[in-house]
Amino acid sequence: LLKMSQIFCPLVEKKPVGRDVVFLLDGSDGTRSGFPAMRDFVQRVVETLSVDDNKDRVSVVQYSRDPAVQFYLNTYTTKGEILDTVRGLRHKGGRPLNTGAALQYLRDNVFTASAGSRRLEGVPQVLILLCGGKSFDSVDAPASALKQLGVSDIRELQKISYDPSLALSVSDLLTVLMHQPLPSNSWVC
């Protein structure tokens, strides 16, 4: 006798993983006049993210001599809160520009579970670095350390970036902001 039975395979809807996006902004004295454009860029990118449904998380860190966290990945849960805070960002100021130290700080203090990073859950870690000049310190070791964590971030930016064609200089950024919509992958460094 053949016995027929029904096999139920429940459909499991796989939710998109999202991203943890960290903006590292050059707040040194040399970027004072360009800081509003950086802030506007951050706003434009945040507006495209899926923050409200917890797919994407955002952090902003500003640096010159030392980094200063504006907010961590787990600080805000709505796009409105993030945008309000970004609109209120003030230029940090200071010298010299220590990009290497800032990258190391991100690795140790921002791309961590306690700061809201979901790296261990397989969520892509994205670093968007906006800087206006050459770093006073070395970026080689900190950039390698971030790459080992799976974080992806023209010469210094290209060293940091998995794909050097995705690194934008400030002049490239201003051209993008002023003349065309953001390409979907050009800001992922």
- Reply yes or no on whether the pLDDT at 11 is more than 60: no
Average pLDDT over residues 67-85: 97
Q: What is the pLDDT of residues 29-39, one digit of tens each?
A: 888 988 999 99
Cα–Cα dist 99/134, whole Å: 8
- Reply yes or no on whether the pLDDT at 97 is more than 70: yes
Taking each helix axis as running N to C, give the angle between helix 35-48 and helix 79-87, from 0 to 180 degrees, rounded to the nearest 10.
170
Average pLDDT over residues 143-167: 55
Does a structural domain hold residue 3? Answer: no
* Number of compact structural domains in the chain: 1
Average pLDDT over residues 184-188: 36
10 Å CB burial of residue 180 (0-12, 13-18, 19+) is exposed
Cα–Cα dist 71/59, whole Å: 5
Neighbouring-strand partners of residue 23: 60, 128
Q: Which of 54-63, 161-170, 175-184 has the highest mean pLDDT?
A: 54-63
10 Å CB burial of residue 7 (0-12, 13-18, 19+) is exposed
Identify the domain containing residue 59 by its residue range: 19-179
Query: Taking the model in full, what pTM does it have?
Result: 0.71
Query: 57 falls in which pLDDT band (50, 70, 90)?
Result: very high
Residue 165, domain CATH: 3.40.50.410
Does a structural domain hold residue 164? Answer: yes
Does a structural domain hold residue 32? Answer: yes
Average pLDDT over residues 104-132: 91
Does a structural domain hold residue 11? Answer: no
Does a structural domain hold residue 13? Answer: no
- Reply yes or no on whether the pLDDT at 1 is more than 50: no
Does a structural domain hold residue 128? Answer: yes
Average pLDDT over residues 84-92: 96
- Reply yes or no on whether the pLDDT at 158 is more than 70: no
CA-nearest of 189, 14, 30, 43 to 106 is 189
CB proximity list for 99: less than 8 A, separation 6 or greater: 26, 63, 129, 131, 135, 137, 139, 156
Question: What is the 3 state secondary structure string of 94-156?
Answer: CCCCCHHHHHHHHHHHHCCHHHCCCHHHCCCEEEEEECCCCCCCCCHHHHHHHHHHCEECCHH
pLDDT of residue 160: 44
Does a structural domain hold residue 186? Answer: no
Token pair 């040194």: residue: 28
Question: What's CA 81's distance to the chain center, in Å?
Answer: 17
